[in-house]
Amino acid sequence: MSSRLRIGARLFMAGAVVAGYVALHLALGAAADLRERDRFRDAPARAAAFTAALDRAGGAAPPAGIRTGAAWFRDHAPAAGRSRSLVAAAAGAAGAGRVDEARARVAGLAAEVRRERAGLAREAAASATATLCWAAPAAVLSVPALWLRRRRRAAAAEVVEVVSRFVPRQPWWRRPVYLVACGAGYTLFAVGALAVQTAQQQGWKMPLETEVLLLCAGLAALGSGVLILRHARPRAVRGAAQALRADGRRPVLYLRSFADDADAAEVDDGTFVNLHSREEQLAGVLGAVGPVITVGRPGEPLPRLGAARFYLPLDDWRPAILRLMELSRLIVLRLGTGDGLWWEVEQARATQPAGKLVLLASGHHPDTAARLDAHLPVPSGLDAVVPDDPWTSAVVVFRHDWTPQVHPVGPNSDPRHRRGGLLRRALRASRALRGTAVALTPTHHLARTLQTALATTGVRARRLTWRATLATQASLGRGAALATVLGLLAWLGYRTLRLLGG
């Protein structure tokens, strides 16, 4: 499925969801208006009975019909109408023995009741019309959204069939429950950060007790949010099959040695808030090309955050890897130790087009260049690269004849920095003005190098760099989105309960 169709599907689905949500709220309002209209249906008869009771009233205590009529109008008349206040005032005057005054007050009660009934009918009709005006676009937009969703799933059906055999089944409620927990965690984290920041910046304006209380509450909220997220986020991630169905594009197959998982799980500094590991950021960057899937470590209790996991059997994993190499749009392979990893390099070299393979080299393994050169027609020159990145020192791509092209990774790897002294100074000045607004993490440098390297092989991925910039802020965006969705659903549930209980 192309990126344009994928974007179109998301836009149609977003429009259908927004229109449907508004239509639901309007439908609840229309139901409330209809109920209020029906509750006031007997108002003419009640008004006549109340007036007759006043006519029969004398100087003694008012008859029971006056009290009954006043109670009915108090419970059933519209709050904004005059009939309720007229009846209440007349009942009060009759109770005080001023019967003539009470009769004078309800002289126009019948006409007021007719006006209010007509007004309630108009409001109910207007609410129903507004509901239809939003429900119709929701229905219209849902047709192409569902068609594109079906087409997206059909495009990913072949690779999903391969992967789904190796994804553990989970209860249907697991991900929604932990998504709600993630929303609560993100909310606590944001509230705690805001409280701590307020205490630090505005504490001198507060009493000491208030400042200490705000700071302690903020730190407690921050800690609670982090603990909830640490527990909930691994349980809320999609498996490989779900990620492929949701995206529809051909995947990016990410292969690495399990021994590198510890380095990939580290969180780099660079922004005020960064909860995402290196692999999470890399998966977010490569998401510009396609959904990122990888083999999970056998026996791990929870999937690591980053690429969507599937789990292959230890004794028969090679056929699935070969099939996924064929079905993938890109093979990103992190060089390291292990015979299985170098078997994957050999198979990619023997069976796949040269432009499909991207190698990530780390400075932690000094014998990598020699082992790689044994699989290539010409030496790669990887041994001449000085490691400048703590996680990835170089990106290797290939021409059509498998001639390697090595792109060092680091702060100075961007070719735009070498276009002259004036431009370098301008870029340096712009970075100084932006301060820490852009997170120059190791993954940011890697994304910039990947974008340059892929361009030489004909893969256009212009969004890699800005996706890397946003990768460290993804927690804030997802947290805000989850909190907003939960708030909207809670408001819808509250209105529904009020309608049912009223």
Q: Which tokens hold the place of 451?
A: 């974008």
Q: Which tokens hold the place of 84?
A: 């309720």
**Burial classification of residue 319, based on how many CB atoms lie within 10 Å of its CB (0-12 exposed, 13-18 middle, 19 or more buried):** exposed
pTM: 0.79
pLDDT tens digits for 301-324? Answer: 899 999 999 999 988 999 999 999
Q: Which tokens hold the place of 432?
A: 């100084």
In angstroms, the CA 139 to CA 29 distance is: 20
Q: Where are the alpha helices (DSSP H) in 248-277?
A: 261-264
pLDDT at res. 436: 40
Amino acid at 152: R
Total length of the chain = 502
Classify each residue of 261-293 as buried b or exposed e, where b means 16 or more C-beta atoms within 10 Å of its C-beta: bebbeeebebbeebbbbbbbbbbbbbbbbbbbb
What 3-state class would DSSP assign to 396?
strand
Tell me whether strands 394-398 and 357-361 are parallel, antiparallel or unpaired.
Answer: antiparallel
pLDDT at res. 443: 82
495 neighbors 25 (Cβ within 8 angstroms): yes
pLDDT means per 10 residues in the chain (502 residues)?
78 95 95 93 92 76 79 90 91 86 89 94 95 96 92 92 92 91 88 89 87 93 91 92 92 94 80 75 91 94 93 93 96 92 95 95 80 91 77 91 91 51 45 46 85 88 76 70 86 91 72
In angstroms, the CA 359 to CA 444 distance is: 17
